Structure 1
Amino acid sequence: MTPEHRYAYWRANLRLVTILLICWFTCSFGFGILLVHPLNAIRLGGYPLGLWFAQQGAIYCFILLIFVYALAMHWLDKKFEIHQD
């Protein structure tokens, strides 16, 4: 693998991680803490949406992001022809 190839792979990996961390921050901190009062006007299953994000939504979001990261890295490894034995 050439140094340019390595650099491009690492840059794509960091871009992916940055995007996923921004999504996680938005869901957990933004919806669960900063926007909790406006979201509490909406009800989900009888509970205020802000409370749901603070208690369960951020965890579900994190689990979803783990699967998205695994699938995206699998695609990225195929794109850069990196094989793991």
Structure 2
Amino acid sequence: MALRKLGKDPESPSGGSPTIYLDEEKDSYLVQGLKVEDIERLGQMDIPGHESVVEIPRRMVQFFLEVKKVDEDPDV
């Protein structure tokens, strides 16, 4: 299973996170971001035990294929 990196946050201080990947075999996205640990925020969601929540900046939406322009660089 090969993941395709669609983009990473150009404003990340470390230059490596958050990042959005595409798993073409499963036709799904994998999102790397900051783990949400704020009890108040988590309490507003219905999260099953086998799932977790990560946070990414709104500017990262540009990397999802449904939003991204076809001719853009894949590793922005």
TM over 0.5: no
Higher strand share: 2
Q: What TM-score does the superposition give when structure 2 sets the normalisation length?
A: 0.28
